[in-house]
Amino acid sequence: MSITFKAEPSDKLTGQIRVPGDKSISHRSIMLGSIAEGVTEVTGFLQGEDSLATLEAFRSLGVKIEGPDKGQVRIHGVGMHGLRAANQPLDVGNSGTSMRLLAGLLAGQSFTTELVGDASLSKRPMRRVTDPLAEMGAVIHTSEAGTAPLTIEGGQSLCAIQYTLPVASAQVKSCLLLAGLYARGQTCVTEPAPTRDHTERMLQGFGYPVKRKNATVCLQGGGKLTATALDVPADISSAAFFMVGASIASGSDLVLEHVGMNPTRIGVINILRQMGADITLSNETTVSGEPVADLRIKSAPLHGIRIPEDQVPLAIDEFPVLFVAAACAQGQTVLTGARELRVKESDRIQVMADGLAALGITAQPTEDGMLIEGGQMSGGQVNSHGDHRIAMAFAIASLRANGAILIDDCANVNTSFPGFVDLACACGLNLSVQ
């Protein structure tokens, strides 16, 4: 179903809110809970389409999962070798994380599985996981273009590898670590730059030893996971929309509760602070091995910056809304080293440049980034191309536009942020569904 958002001008964001649970951690809670021994209790689980696709996939693989009910899930783990063949292909919809991580986990099973996805996911590159998995001995068929559907042949015996990632990707790293659980020997993955480490942290929470030395993370195959309790923090990637919104809308004062502050995810805070944002942390603590805090954001004048390339993997999902921040900043913002944005749920460089241009902003896409001149945004019509984060980024832009913004193709906001429209309106956005 096609959904259009109408975002009309509004002035400020205020109040105290909690955005939904972290998507990356929610996926991993189902995956690891399913292959653990015992019952894993999850709270704060993201009831969005992506993480629900993972949950349904594991039900199809024979795992009893109760919930989700207000973020609570009970997973009756079947142990490392207890998954059963699904009787139909597993459809993971729009979710790249489900497909890439499942590819690794399923490569070591005794049965064959087919993974399918929607039109967007079926265009995204999968050789980045199938090539190294093949080196481990997996047999996976893709389309000729190296895309889904993926058929993962069962009954292969996997061998550990030492692999250096050609791109900084937590999905590829996690895929190989999950395959490594089923491989003979020690699997080691070296990353060119730090990427989110939720898999490593959560494996340790399930009692599975993981060693890190500098940029290399290793685990020994053949161990077991023991069920645990997991509290999923609010997703910093969802919080990011409100961090930018409160920064750009004068008079704003907004508190975001219990947000995940994993150091491999806080690029958005580092970048916004460099641009002049006023963000303070309180109630800092650790839940289920992940740091969390409450964030208070007050509006502040932003200025353009050259975004440090080392922050790119740490803010990889936040660029759509960071481009909106740049459009509202004084001067020029330059992003380089972010070619990966072209293979996300949409080509986020081109789609954002087109949308910003439609709102009167000078935005020059480059092969691996963007140049944006801050200026006055007008109203206009933009297309999210079915990309949840593009849709929400343009909704936030309405805080500084001088006319209504119509945003087409917004249904996929539900993949990561169910309830976005209501929550955004509750703190001051003037947003409706057409």
Helix (H) or strand (E) holding 66: strand 64-69
Q: Where are the alpha helices (DSSP H) in 117-210?
A: 127-135, 170-180, 198-205
Token pair of 385, please?
A: 């191309």
- Of the candidate spans 151-159, 164-172, 270-278, 351-359, the one that interacts with ligand S3P by CB under 6 A turns out to be 164-172
Cβ of residue 276: shortest distance to ligand S3P, in angstroms?
26
Question: Which of the residues 323 through 342 are near ligand S3P (CB under 6 A)?
Answer: 340
Cβ of residue 317: shortest distance to ligand S3P, in angstroms?
5
68: preceding bond cis by omega (within 30 degrees): yes
Instruction: Give the CA distances from residue 271 to residues 4, 244, 309, 374, in Å, rounded to whole numbers and listed in that order.
Output: 30, 11, 11, 16
Nearer to ligand S3P, 10 or 97 (CB): 97
Let me know: does 353 contact 382? Beta carbons within 8 Å: no
Nearer to ligand S3P, 10 or 24 (CB): 24
- Of the candidate spans 71-79, 165-173, 227-235, 274-282, the one that interacts with ligand S3P by CB under 6 A turns out to be 165-173
Q: Is 111 exposed, middle or buried (0-12, 13-18, 19+ CB in 10 A)?
A: middle
Q: Which of 40, 325, 356, 72 is nearest to 203 (CA)?
A: 40
Q: How far apart are CA 270 and CA 97, in angstroms?
A: 25
Token pair of 115, please?
A: 């993974």
Nearer to ligand S3P, 56 or 197 (CB): 197
Nearer to ligand S3P, 172 or 325 (CB): 172
Cβ of residue 128: shortest distance to ligand S3P, in angstroms?
8
Q: Is the C-alpha dihedral spanning 32, 290, 69, 171 positive or negative?
A: negative
Residue 24 touches ligand S3P, criterion: CB under 6 A: yes
- Of the candidate spans 68-76, 170-178, 330-338, 405-413, the one that interacts with ligand S3P by CB under 6 A turns out to be 170-178
Residue 40 touches ligand S3P, criterion: CB under 6 A: no
Candidate list 91, 118, 317, 409, residue with the active-site label: 317
Cβ of residue 151: shortest distance to ligand S3P, in angstroms?
22
- If DSSP codes are grouped into helix, strand and coil, which group holds residue 292? strand
Nearer to ligand S3P, 36 or 316 (CB): 316
Phi (first) and psi of residue 67, to 5 degrees: 95, -165
Residue with tokens 């923090």: 233
Q: Is 317 a catalytic residue?
A: yes
**Which residue type sits at 389?**
R
Residue 195 touches ligand S3P, criterion: CB under 6 A: yes
Question: Which of the residues 360 through 419 are near ligand S3P (CB under 6 A)?
Answer: none
Nearer to ligand S3P, 202 or 300 (CB): 202
Cβ of residue 345: shortest distance to ligand S3P, in angstroms?
8
Residue 169 touches ligand S3P, criterion: CB under 6 A: yes
Let me know: does 218 contact 211? Beta carbons within 8 Å: yes
Nearer to ligand S3P, 13 or 25 (CB): 25
Helix (H) or strand (E) holding 127: helix 127-135
Residues 6+ apart with CB under 8 A from 70: none
Cβ of residue 324: shortest distance to ligand S3P, in angstroms?
18
Residue 120 touches ligand S3P, criterion: CB under 6 A: no
Residue 203 touches ligand S3P, criterion: CB under 6 A: no
Task: Pick one of 10, 174, 228, 346: the residue that binds ligand S3P (CB under 6 A).
Answer: 174
| Cα–Cα–Cα angle for 368, 370, 376, rounded to 5 degrees | 170
Residues that bind ligand S3P (CB under 6 A): 24, 97, 169-171, 174, 195-196, 316-317, 340
Task: Give catalytic residues, as residue numbers.
Answer: 317
